[in-house]
Structure formats: structure tokens, C-alpha cells
């Protein structure tokens, strides 16, 4: 056991964030790593038991965390985005969700042996997939735009719906199974639910109005939102339990559709808070499991339930709901298989487990175990099979991790050509048709639009691209683009061209270099310098390092004006040169550089001289 509650709080946070880092570092599903970590620290080694140690604070902490996580998910529910999703996503999110709920509930009752109330609640929860588990899988698998879009928006839309459906199911089933049913209680619940929606809408409108009119300063916006979310949840939940989740979801949807200019910054903050809460709450939930409860996962009824949910309920709900939507058979197979349940399902099930047990449903004690079993098995099965299956079904983007280039000019076109030659996906984005003319003529993929516009967010599929480089003439715009997309791509994958003039290179401050991404190539090479080099006859050269010709010899052989662009590892990994590049090229790496023409001229002359010497030698013979 831990020495103090303070130490336990620290350890839970450390294990949660540490698990997220390990998952990121080794490209593993985060929920799998957190599951193993929580089980090791809790029931296996007995180091943690948060439910026992936190006492009366345990359930309120879980409840507030779930409220914030659901609010963050509902911030993505913009009606503009939903209208543009098309038939497949709409059908899956409505008809498919209903079919999955009914079939899942029947399976829970007849296979897992749960009572009708518990079965219909767990059936509602398990229609949830959630963006927290779907998005990492999509980036890992490099799906094509259509199936990726369907899975992404299904997760975003159904995420809060599942929790709210569980709330309604609980009240309705409780009413129907009561020995002395009274319509007054049901009417009271629906009245309280209506109040929760109105209260959530009022909180959203109120905080949004205060943002837009400047009544809340920038530095207080994010903290104010967190407090109002807790207020919104608590206010509704105190009037009637279980309606707080409905209230915060209504608040999130209201804010998402108000067109608030600072909604993106707020969303990034909420994502960070959600990641922290997800990490810590998941460790708390898994560490609180008992060994006996954990062993129940391997009981025949739970295994049978999990298998039916994975192989019957999910595929059947997808195939039935997508009839006449234009989805191909391969797309239906993939979408019907990929449905990893995530942290929202587990946290909300833990929330309902205590409520149901308090209401007298004794079989609810296995609710968390059943949920954990489905979450764990689906994440492992789907996480490690999505890449293989998508390739077999010809639904994956072939090739290496791609690069998204912002700004069309002579250099970016030529750079894109070199990337295409080594089979790296590349796309150039620019808002000017005139600047894109050379891109179109060269056959390079392009997108006409502003990368920062809302329309581009809806229409441009960025999943195949792991790297973003901003190379326009507007340095402030480059920095803004990098700052905007840094949370999505990661600090190490976002680059901008040098903003310095020649006089500033040696006297540059640290401030500029830290804002908006890393400097691409070298700070002494500006956009004008690179285009001038091409006009001066500089050529792109590809060199593979060998044991006879190592990196030290390669650098010594190059002119000082050579621009080292990027390297490709034998594994296919792409690394752009930058001021902060730590990777040292090694044997087998292929380096692409922009080389002065005199070097090439000297090589050609040497080659011609060798040929002449060879010819003269043969003539003498």
C-alpha cells in the first residue's frame, strides 16, 4: 500500500501519463497500456486501491471526470459537420445505434445473464466507440478517406448519445419493472431532463456570450469553462441524479454551434484536460478491480457475450443500417469489424454500477467487469488488426507517412517531386489558383483553399499525412499554421521555413524560433534563398550512405551552400533536417540535398575524363 493519499494521487497521475507516453513512443493502443498498468498496480501487486482509499470522494471524482470528458466530446458536435456527413454516417449513428442497442441488450440479458434494467443500460453504453480510441487507430492504419470519415464521425456523434441513452434506459426500465409503478416518477424524470437540457443550453449561451463580448479575459476563458461545466453537471444532478450528463452534453453542443472565435483554443485546452482525466480515471478504475472480479472476465458467459458483440451484433447493425447508402461490401466489412470501446464506456459504466447497486440491482456488480472485458478485447483485437484488414480489403493508403506542404512556389513543387519519386505521399495546399498552376502542371496532389479555414477542415483529409511544413512568404502565417496544428501533429512533426533575414541569422532571439514549429532545414536558408538556388542551377541529389562512404565523409564532400533537406531510413521513416534534429544519419540512410551546380559539373567532368582515359587506353592497345 502507498504511504499516504497524496502519494497515491501523485502515483496515479504518473502511471496514467506514463502509460500514454509509452503508448505514443511504441505506437501501441494507449488503453491497452493503461489497462495493464492499472491491473499491475491494483489487483495484481496490491499497490493501489483507489476506491477504498478515496472513500466517499471516489464516486464524485469519477462523476466530474465523466462530465468533463463528455463535454469535450460534445464540443465536436457541430451541426455544419453533421449535415455534410452523408447517408452512411447518419444511418449508422441513428438506425445502426438503435439496432446495436437492442441486440446488445438482448445479448446481455440472455447470454451474460443480466437483468433487463442492467442489460438495457449496458446495451446503450456499448453503442459508444469514441474518438479517444478511434482517432489513434485511424492514424495508425492510414485508411482511405471514406471509411476513415465514417468511423471518425460515428465515434464523435455516438459518444455522448450512448451515455444519455443509458440514462433514459435506466429510468424507463426502472419504471416498467417496479412493483408499484407510478407515472409521477417518470414524468418527474422527463421534466428534470428537460430542465437539464435548458440549463445546459443556458450555461452554454451564457458563457459563450461572455466570451464574445469580452466579459471574460483570455487568460480566464479555459478555467471558466471547466468551472461552468462542473456547475452545469452538479446543478442538474442535484435536482435529479443522472441528468447531469445530459446537461453538460447540451452545453457542449450549444457552444460548438455558436461560432465562437476562440472555440478552437478552448477545444485544445479541453482535449488536454480530457487526456489527463482519462489517464488518471482509467488507472483508478482498473486499479480498483478485485482479483475475483478480474477472474470473472474469463467466465464462459462474459467471453460468450464479448464474442457475440464483436462478431454478430456490430457487423449485423452496420450491414442492416447501411442498406442503400452506397457503401461497398469491403467498407461494410471494415466498419462492421472496427468498433473499439473506450474510456468513456468504462468510466460511465463505473458511474452506473454504483447507482444500480444502490437501486437494488445486485447483478450490476459485474457491470465494470463486463465493460472492461469488452473494452480490453476490442481494443486489442481491433487495434492490432485494422492495419492488416484495411490492406486486405484495399481500403488503406499505400506508401509511407505523407507530408502536407503549405504554400505553392517553385521550391515546394520541386521538393514535392522528390518526395513523390521516393513514394512518399505529398499534397500542396494554397489558396491561390495562380500559385497552384505549376503544381497542377507537374501532377502533384493539391488542395485549393486556406488550411486554416473551416471549410478546409471539413473537406481535406489529413489522416495520410504525418508531417506538416509551412513554406509561404508570410512568416506570421507560417507560425500561425504551425501553432494551430501542433496539438494534432505533434511538435516534432510541424515545421516552418526560416523567418530570419540574413542580418538576423546570427543575432536572432530565442523567442521567434520557439513560436510556431521548428525551423526547417537551417535558419540561414529563407524561402527566397531556396528559390534563388533553383534559379541558379542548384539540383536535388539523392545519396545512400554505405560503410565505405559514411555520413562524416558525405558532409565533408559537400559545399557550405548545400541544403540538407531530409533523409529516409531503411524502414521507410522520414526525417526532415531542422535546427533541432537529433537523428544522426547512419549506414543505409538515403539523404536528399539541394546541391550547387559546380559540384555536379565537377562530377560530370570527372566522369567524362574517365571515359576519355578509358577510350584512349583501349586505342593504344
pLDDT digits (tens, 9 = 90+) for 294-350: 777 788 888 888 899 989 999 999 999 888 887 889 889 988 888 888 766 776 777
505 pLDDT higher than 70: no
Residue length, the chain? 621
CB 372 within 8 A of CB 289: yes
Residue 592 has pLDDT above 70, yes or no: yes
The 3-class SS string of 311-373 reads HHHHHHHHHHHCCCCCCCHHHHHHHHHCCCCCHHHHHHHHHHHHHHHHCCCHHHHHHHHHHHH
CATH of the domain at 228: 1.20.1530.20
Distance in angstroms (rounded) separating the CA atoms of residues 181 and 179: 6
583 and 460 together in one domain: yes
- The answer as to whether 347 is a domain residue is yes
Give pLDDT, residue 103. 92
Q: How many angstroms separate the most distant Cα atoms in the chain? A: 116
| CA neighbor of 528 nearest in space, from 577, 578, 472 | 472
Q: Which of 370, 392, 414 is the last residue of a domain?
A: 392
Decide: 17 and 276 in contact? Cβ < 8 Å.
yes
CA-wise closest residue to 499 among 370, 2, 480, 488: 480
Of 295-309, 418-432, 544-558, the range with the lowest mean pLDDT is: 544-558
Query: Is 67 in contact with 229 (CB distance < 8 Å)?
Result: yes
Shared domain for 416 and 373, answered yes or no, is: no
Predicted local distance difference test score (pLDDT) of residue 202: 92
Paired sense of beta strands 539-544 and 574-576, if any = unpaired
Check whether 274 has a pLDDT greater than 60.
yes
621 in any annotated domain = no
Does residue 383 have a pLDDT over 80? no
Computed over every residue of the chain, the mean pLDDT equals 78
Q: Classify the C-alpha dihedral 135-118-297-365 as positive or negative.
A: positive
Give the phi and the psi of residue 613 in degrees, each rounded to 5. Answer: -60, -40
Cell matching residue 92:
449508422
pLDDT average, residue stretch 387-410: 79
Tell me the C-alpha distance between 495 and 356, whole Å: 51
Residue 511: predicted pLDDT? 44
- Quick check: is 614 in a domain? no
Residues 557 and 587 reside in one and the same domain: yes
Are 412 and 364 in the same domain?
no
Of all residues in the chain, what percent carry a pLDDT higher than 70? 80
CB 485 within 8 A of CB 466: no
Considering the domain architecture, whether residues 469 and 385 belong to the same structural domain is answered as no
Q: Is 564 helix (H, G, I), strand (E, B) or coil?
A: strand
How confident is the model at residue 506, as a pLDDT? Answer: 52
Asked if 122 and 367 touch (Cβ cutoff 8 Å), the reply is: yes
Among 122-136, 138-152, 421-435, 513-527, the range of highest mean pLDDT: 421-435
Say how far apart CA 19 and CA 35 lie, in whole Å.
Answer: 9
Q: How many domains does the chain have?
A: 2
Asked whether residue 455 carries a pLDDT value surpassing 70, the answer given is: no
Final residue before a domain boundary, out of 392, 416, 439: 392
pLDDT at 112 over 80: yes
Measuring CA to CA, which residue among 535, 425, 411, 565 is closest to residue 473? 411
Pick the residue with more confidence: 193 or 85? 193
- Summarize pLDDT for 181-190 with one digit per residue, the tens: 666 767 777 7
CB atoms within 10 A of CB 210: 15
Range scoring the smallest mean pLDDT among 165-174, 282-291, 299-308: 165-174
Residues 600 and 563 in one domain: yes
**Residue 11: pLDDT above 80?**
yes
- Range among 151-155, 444-448, 533-537 rated most confident: 444-448
Residue 374, all three cell numbers: 469488452
Q: Determine what percent of the chain falls in helix, strand and coil, rounding each to the nearest 5.
A: 65, 10, 25
Top mean-pLDDT range of 27-36, 308-317, 398-407: 308-317
* 8-state DSSP, 120: H
> Count of CB atoms within 10 A of residue 319's CB?
17
Q: What is the DSSP string of 245-308?
A: HHHHHHHHHHHHTTT-TTHHHHHHHHHHHHHHHHHHHHHHHHHT--HHHHHGGGSHHHHHHHHH
Q: Are 586 and 546 in contact (CB under 8 A)?
A: no
Residue 331 CA to residue 334 CA, distance in Å, equals 5
The answer on 89 and 39 residing in a single domain is yes
User: What does the pLDDT read at residue 533?
Assistant: 80
Q: How confident is the model at residue 574, as a pLDDT?
A: 79
With respect to residue 75, please indicate whether it lies within any of the assigned structural domains.
yes
- The CA distances from residue 377 to 21, 302, 309, 381, in Å, are 21, 11, 11, 6
Assess if residue 620 is contained within a domain: no
Q: Residue 563 forms beta bridges with which residues? A: 594
In this predicted model, what pLDDT tens digit does every residue of 249-267 receive, in sequence order? 888 888 877 777 666 656 6
Q: Are 420 and 365 contained in the same domain?
A: no
β-bridge mates for residue 406, sequence order:
429, 470
476 and 525, same domain (yes or no): yes
Please compute the mean of the pLDDT values over residues 579-592 and round it to a whole number. 76
Say whether both 122 and 186 belong to one domain. Answer: yes
Separation CA 204–CA 227 (nearest Å):
12
Q: What is the pLDDT of residue 341?
A: 80
pLDDT band at 605 (very low <50, low <70, confident <90, very high): low
Predicted confidence band of residue 583 (pLDDT cuts 50, 70, 90): low
499 domain residue, yes or no: yes
Beta bridge partners of 576: 566
> Which of these ranges, 29-43, 110-124, 133-147, has the smallest mean pLDDT?
133-147
Domain boundary among 392, 417, 446: 392
Which grid coordinates belong to 27? 505506437
Is residue 507 over pLDDT 60?
no
Kindly calculate the radius of gyration of the chain based on its CA atoms and give it in whole angstroms: 28
Residue 565 domain boundaries: 402-607
Q: Please check whether residue 32 is in contact with residue 26, taking contact to mean a CB–CB distance below 8 angstroms.
A: no
Is residue 204 situated within a structural domain? yes
Question: Is residue 612 one of the residues assigned to a domain?
Answer: no
The H-or-E segment that residue 477 falls in is helix 475-489
Contact between 460 and 429 under an 8 Å Cβ cutoff? The reply is yes
Rounded Cα–Cα distance for residues 557 and 599 (Å):
9
CATH of the domain at 579: 3.40.50.720
- Whether residue 106 is predicted with pLDDT greater than 80 in this model: the reply is yes
User: Is residue 483 within 8 Å of 516, Cβ to Cβ?
Assistant: yes
381 and 445 housed in the same domain: no
Asked whether 90 and 321 are in contact (CB, 8 A), the reply is: no
Name the CA dihedral angle for 50, 55, 60, 63, rounded to a multiple of 10 degrees. 40
Asked if pLDDT for residue 82 goes beyond 60, the answer is: no
- Going by pLDDT thresholds of 50, 70 and 90, the confidence category of residue 516 is low
pLDDT over 80 (residue 558): no
**Pair (385, 431) in one structural domain:** no
C-alpha to C-alpha distance for 22 and 15, rounded to whole angstroms = 10
Is the separation of the CB atoms in 493 and 466 below 8 Å?
yes
The side-by-side arrangement of strands in the sheet containing 563-568 is: 539-544, 590-595, 563-568, 574-576
Amino acid at each position: 500500500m502507498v504511504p499516504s493519499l497524496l502519494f497515491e494521487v501523485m502515483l496515479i497521475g504518473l502511471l496514467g501519463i506514463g502509460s500514454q507516453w509509452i503508448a505514443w513512443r511504441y505506437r501501441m493502443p494507449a488503453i491497452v497500456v493503461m489497462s495493464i498498468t492499472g491491473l499491475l498496480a491494483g489487483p495484481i501487486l496490491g499497490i493501489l486501491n483507489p476506491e477504498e482509499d478515496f472513500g466517499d470522494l471516489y464516486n464524485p471524482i469519477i462523476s466530474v471526470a465523466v462530465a468533463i470528458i463528455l463535454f469535450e466530446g460534445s464540443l465536436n458536435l457541430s451541426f455544419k459537420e453533421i449535415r455534410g456527413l452523408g447517408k452512411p454516417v447518419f444511418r449508422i449513428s441513428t438506425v445502426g445505434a438503435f439496432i446495436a442497442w437492442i441486440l446488445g441488450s438482448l445479448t446481455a440479458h440472455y447470454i451474460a445473464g443480466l437483468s433487463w434494467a442492467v442489460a438495457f443500460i449496458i446495451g446503450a453504453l456499448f453503442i459508444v466507440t469514441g474518438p479517444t480510441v478511434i482517432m489513434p487507430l485511424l492514424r495508425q492504419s492510414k485508411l482511405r478517406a471514406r471509411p476513415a470519415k465514417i468511423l471518425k464521425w460515428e465515434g464523435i456523434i455516438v459518444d455522448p448519445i450512448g451515455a444519455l441513452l443509458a440514462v433514459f434506459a435506466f429510468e424507463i426500465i426502472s419504471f416498467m419493472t417496479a412493483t408499484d409503478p407510478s407515472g409521477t416518477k417518470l414524468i418527474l424524470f422527463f421534466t428534470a431532463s428537460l430542465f437539464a437540457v435548458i440549463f445546459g443550453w443556458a450555461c452554454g449561451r451564457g458563457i459563450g456570450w461572455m466570451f464574445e463580448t469580452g466579459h471574460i479575459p483570455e487568460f480566464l476563458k479555459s478555467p471558466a469553462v471547466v468551472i461552468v461545466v462542473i456547475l452545469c453537471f452538479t446543478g442538474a444532478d442535484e435536482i435529479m441524479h443522472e441528468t447531469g450528463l445530459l446537461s453538460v452534453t447540451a452545453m457542449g453542443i450549444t457552444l460548438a454551434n455558436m461560432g465562437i472565435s476562440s472555440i478552437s483554443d478552448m477545444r485544445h485546452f479541453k482535449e488536454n484536460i480530457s487526456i489527463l482525466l482519462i489517464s488518471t480515471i482509467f488507472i483508478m478504475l482498473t486499479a480498483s478491480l478485485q482479483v475475483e472480479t478480474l477472474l470473472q472476465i474469463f467466465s464462459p458467459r462474459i467471453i460468450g457475450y464479448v464474442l457475440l458483440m464483436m462478431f454478430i451484433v456490430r457487423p449485423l447493425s452496420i450491414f442492416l443500417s447501411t442498406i442503400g447508402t452506397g457503401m461497398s461490401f469491403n467498407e461494410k466489412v471494415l466498419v462492421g469489424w472496427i468498433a473499439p470501446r473506450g474510456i468513456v464506456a468504462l468510466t460511465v459504466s463505473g458511474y452506473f454500477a454504483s447507482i444500480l447497486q444502490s437501486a437494488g440491482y445486485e447483478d450490476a456488480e459485474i457491470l465494470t467487469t463486463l465493460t472492461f472485458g469488452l473494452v480490453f478485447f476490442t481494443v486489442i483485437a481491433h487495434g492490432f488488426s485494422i492495419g492488416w484488414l484495411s490492406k486486405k480489403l484495399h481500403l488503406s493508403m499505400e506508401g509511407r507517412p505523407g507530408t502536407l506542404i503549405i504554400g505553392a512556389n517553385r521550391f515546394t513543387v520541386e521538393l514535392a517531386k522528390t518526395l513523390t519519386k521516393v513514394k512518399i505521399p505529398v499534397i500542396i495546399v494554397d489558396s491561390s489558383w495562380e500559385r497552384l498552376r505549376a503544381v497542377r502542371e507537374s501532377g502533384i496532389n493539391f488542395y485549393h483553399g486556406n488550411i486554416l479555414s473551416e471549410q478546409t477542415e471539413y473537406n481535406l483529409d489529413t489522416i495520410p499525412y504525418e508531417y506538416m511544413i509551412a513554406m509561404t512568404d508570410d512568416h506570421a502565417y507560417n507560425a500561425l499554421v504551425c501553432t494551430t496544428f501542433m496539438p494534432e501533429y505533434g511538435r516534432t512533426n510541424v515545421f516552418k521555413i526560416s523567418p530570419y533575414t540574413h542580418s538576423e541569422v546570427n543575432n536572432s532571439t530565442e523567442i521567434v524560433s520557439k513560436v510556431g514549429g521548428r525551423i526547417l532545414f537551417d535558419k540561414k536558408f529563407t524561402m527566397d534563398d531556396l528559390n534563388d538556388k533553383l534559379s541558379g542551377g542548384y539540383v536535388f541529389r539523392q545519396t545512400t550512405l554505405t560503410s565505405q562512404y559514411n555520413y562524416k565523409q558525405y558532409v565533408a564532400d559537400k559545399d557550405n551552400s548545400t541544403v540538407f533537406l531530409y533523409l529516409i531510413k531503411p524502414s521507410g521513416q522520414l526525417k526532415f533536417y531542422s535546427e533541432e534534429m537529433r537523428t544522426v544519419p547512419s549506414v543505409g540512410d538515403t539523404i536528399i540535398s539541394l546541391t550547387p551546380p559546380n559540384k555536379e559539373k565537377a562530377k560530370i567532368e570527372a566522369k567524362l575524363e574517365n571515359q576519355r582515359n578509358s577510350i584512349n587506353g583501349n586505342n593504344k592497345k
